[in-house]
Chain A
Amino acid sequence: MKTQGKLLYNWPEDGFDESLKFNDSSQLGNAPYDVAIIGAGIVGCALAYKLSMYKLKILLLDKNYDVGEATSKGSSAIIHTGFDSPVDSIESTLVTKASREWPELAKKLKIPFEECGALLIAINDEQKKQLKNIYDKAIKNGVTDIQLLDPKQLREIEPKITDEALGGILIPRESIVDPFSASIAYSEIALSNGVDIIFGTEIIGIENANENVKKLVTRSGIKINTNIIVNVAGLGSEKLAKLYNGESFDTNPRRGQFLVFDKYSRMNINHILLPVPTNETKGVLVIPTIFGNLMAGPTAEDFSHGDNSITGTTIEKLQSLLDGASKLYPELKKQPVISNFAGVRCNCSQGSYWIRCNDGHPGILTVSGIRSTGITSSPTLADHLVKELSDKCGLHLEKDITAIDSRPESSWPGWWKPPYSNGKIAEKDSDYGRVVCFCEQISRGEIIDHLDSPLKPVSLDSIKRRTRAQMGRCQGFDCQINVAEIISKHCDIPLEKITKRGPGSEIISNTQMMKNKEIDEINKSF
């Protein structure tokens, strides 16, 4: 078994475990890293996981305070077969290959994965004519297990879809996954294989870029030595590439809004419903989630960097999603919406999957424009990057037989296996019987288990993504403060310092506490 990697946070506020704070490069040891991966999204985490199988010193770092905190957290969570990808593109090759690896990979990562299948539905003659083309393209992309359907067959598979369906295609291996747990699982395995992880650390400079040992300069002025730099910073990749004079490329954030419907909506729909795409857009999908909801989305709205409204939702677009989705599943209009959110993907003007080796200087790898297929392609893209690093950047690969490639069993792997399904556990520890999140039925015991898990989540959002507490229909009405109190007590952080997603998002802003005296006085006055 390898020694577990270090987990450090650049946490400027007090009230946080001092032993986890990143203050100085000496905490990282004397030797430079073989590879420093900048960006702990799904691609960075998958790469760290794959590289951790070798005898290497690896660093994974991110400016946010959890893995998958940017693009990766706001996706449709579909594992695509790649049936509609542009033929012979690198994206199509990686996606098609990855879709066949996912069932096995999900078992290794111990995350929920469901092969729910997708139905592409034509609702007018124009669209019906295109079905054959789509079918042929899918065969060219190697997705041969698909089937053209007539309206009767369509309705046998999904009785609740629109009466206007004239025909369609069944794509059986289109699947859904828990998008949050994927990044978490990859990085947990990487951590136990010795990968160091630093959160809250933005790279603002690179020194000695053309030398063997390069220096990453963090915002707080700490310098980190590394031989190879991998830029998988997603929406930050263009800015980062400018620091080392990489080949010029343009990115912009592309927003995708989603509507989330309450759980019982999924009782009626089991497949992903896809409209026939046009040249401009893929259209609005109806997407079952692995958590048991339905979603409608996404939109595709281009923004420029630095626009603050980017993670917001807008009323017009949400309405257009509802209109679009209900063309495939009319009853959706009656279903209660519990939430909406906007995901932001990285669009690259020079084409998707921008991958450049020895970019600007030897030993620097740039990866950008992964759009929305990153979660699907993460395993094969990571393999591809490992090969590029070895073939072109001179990374020496030697297998480490002590490395693990699957996630160790934990007492509670996640929300999908509630402890009360095992009566004995609840009997042994009453915390497992004390339900905190009423909507998703998550117990205090599960929250504490996740607080103790290897990546040590400490924010409300990171607990939400791991346990689903606060993610149900009431969106934290009943449990948010209770969850904050549990984190506060268990991690010994004052309640007012509990954050939604890292420093700067505290529940209470600094100076707003009532003084004890005032409280006493209030209590006394009766």
Chain B
Amino acid sequence: MKSTNHFRVVIIGAGPAGIGAAIALSKKGITSVALIERSDNIGGVPSLYKKKKGGVRTFIRWSRGGIPVFGEEYANSLKNKLAKTDVEVWLNSQVLKIEAGKKEITLMNPDKGEISFTADAVIMACGSREKTLSERGWVTGARPIRVFFTKQLLQLIDGNGLLPMRNPVIIGSDLIGYAAAAKLKVAGAEDAIIMDKKRRPECSYFERLYFRIWSKPRFIDLNVKSVEVMGSKTATGIRLSKDGDILPCDGIVVCGELIPNSELALLGKLKIELPSRKPVIGRDYQMSESGWFSAGNMLGGFRGAEWCYFNGRRVARSVMNYLSKSI
């Protein structure tokens, strides 16, 4: 069944930025807003950080002097706010393609099959993901199992009660890396070794101090050009620089080095900066085609959930501005 529906605004991605934009638009009286999400739950990355022991109070309100809360709690508060609006939420909906000129979005949904929406304006809030080891350019070697991204780690530990490793090495030293070390420790693993190309951990001193409640990971600055993953079947270690020492481990977690999920925009012929993959935007967050906007971590960089939420609201104001002009 192929049907076409028209909305004033379609938002792709129901993380904090997408939800922020949806709530703001709704409050300004835009009644026809569709929020499209490919997973089965709204809330984005924060909702993965469950309210459990070792589930780390993170992401939120660091900057504003407030107390840290759980990602899940924050995601739930956004969900509650969203529930009071009349935004139409589409879950399990993967956008297959976009047509920038026509402002058309084609998506796949288990109940409706392939379906197309058109809109007066579109906000892409597709978030970001961690670079794969290959994408980093300084990590090479074998491709064994038990090399996980934090998302996978959380799915295994929180979702399935499985601890994939006892002696973890974490590549990447951002907040997420330290949170992963804490999570692993609470679930029964040893203190992790965190390594990065940088001289100092990317995670700030105060944040690291906070994570010491759970875990005291060892930081290794590489000060070398490369590391090599060892292990033919499962990850068994990491070799520091060519012919260097091997740090034994039984699992690797990959953190840090985020890149925007901008492939959809690129396939829709919207301008994307390479190799950073940030969408090219104007001061009003408008991308290279009129009526297409971008918000949240898709803009590049690593920002917390609350920043993304407020950014979504800011982008919504630009969209309001655009809509009022285009009538």
Give A contacts to B, CB under 8 Å: 260, 262-264, 308-309, 311-315, 318, 334-341, 420, 423, 426-427, 430-431, 433-435, 438-439, 441, 443, 460, 473-478, 480-482, 485, 495-496, 499-501, 504-509, 512-514, 516, 518-519, 521-523, 525-526
Contacts and interface: CB of A to CB of B under 8 A. Distances in A.
A313 B144 CA distance: 12
A30 B200 CA distance: 68
B293 interface: no
Contacts of B274: 334-336
A12 to B, nearest CB: 14
B109 A337 contact: no
Give the contact-size bracket for chain B.
35 or more
A276 B160 CA distance: 54
A507 B151 CA distance: 15
A230 to B, nearest CB: 27
A473 B53 CA distance: 33
Interface in B4-50: 38
A341 B229 CA distance: 13
Interface stretch (B59-67, B132-140, B210-218, B295-303): B132-140
B141 A337 contact: no
Nearest to B126: A438
Interface in B84-99: 92, 94, 96
Given A315-B137, A433-B111, A509-B164, 10 more contacts: A262-B263, A314-B228, A336-B274, A337-B134, A337-B135, A433-B112, A435-B92, A496-B162, A505-B234, A514-B188
Contact of A505 (B92, B96, B140, B233): B233
Contacts of B130: 477
Contacts of A500: 144-145, 233
A312 B229 contact: yes
B225 interface: yes
B52 A522 contact: yes
Contacts of B290: none
Nearest to B97: A441
- Most A CB contacts (10 A, CB to CB) among B113, B165, B263 go to B113
- Most B CB contacts (10 A, CB to CB) among A262, A315, A434 go to A315
B142 A460 contact: no
Contact of A338 (B132, B143, B160): B132
Contact of B110 (A312, A430, A460): A430
Return the 5 tightest CB-CB contacts between A and B, nearest first: A435-B94, A500-B145, A430-B110, A433-B110, A426-B113
- Most A CB contacts (10 A, CB to CB) among B112, B145, B229, B233 go to B145
Nearest to B231: A308
Contacts of B113: 420, 423, 426-427, 433
B77 interface: no
B176 to A, nearest CB: 13
A355 B69 CA distance: 68
- Most B CB contacts (10 A, CB to CB) among A334, A519, A521 go to A519
B263 A495 contact: no
Given A336-B274, A522-B54, A507 B145 contact: yes
B114 interface: yes
Contacts of A476: 149, 152
B244 interface: no
Nearest to A429: B110
Contacts of A441: 94, 96, 108
A461 to B, nearest CB: 9
Contact of A420 (B96, B145, B233, B277): B96
Contacts of B138: 315
Nearest to A445: B110
Given A315-B226, A514-B163, A475 B114 contact: no
Interface in B144-163: 144-146, 149, 151-152, 155-157, 159-163
Interface string B230-272: 1011100000001000000010000000000001001100000
Contacts of A263: 263
Nearest to A480: B152
B187 interface: yes
A477 B151 CA distance: 7
Contacts of A312: 140-142, 228-230
Given A338-B132, A420-B108, A477-B151, A495 B160 contact: yes
A508 B110 contact: no
A434 B92 CA distance: 7
Contact of B108 (A335, A336, A435, A519): A435
Contacts of B314: none
Given A264-B266, A423-B114, A426-B108, A477 B233 contact: no
A507 B53 CA distance: 23
A485 B156 CA distance: 10
A522 B134 CA distance: 35
Contact of A474 (B129, B163, B232, B266): B129
Contact of A334 (B110, B140, B275): B275
B208 interface: no
A431 B94 CA distance: 13
- Most A CB contacts (10 A, CB to CB) among B2, B225, B275 go to B275
A337 B143 contact: no
Nearest to B39: A478
Given A312-B140, A514-B162, A338 B134 contact: yes
B207 to A, nearest CB: 22
Given A337-B134, A460-B145, A438 B188 contact: no
Nearest to A512: B163
Nearest to A265: B274
Contacts of A526: 51-53
A426 B96 CA distance: 14
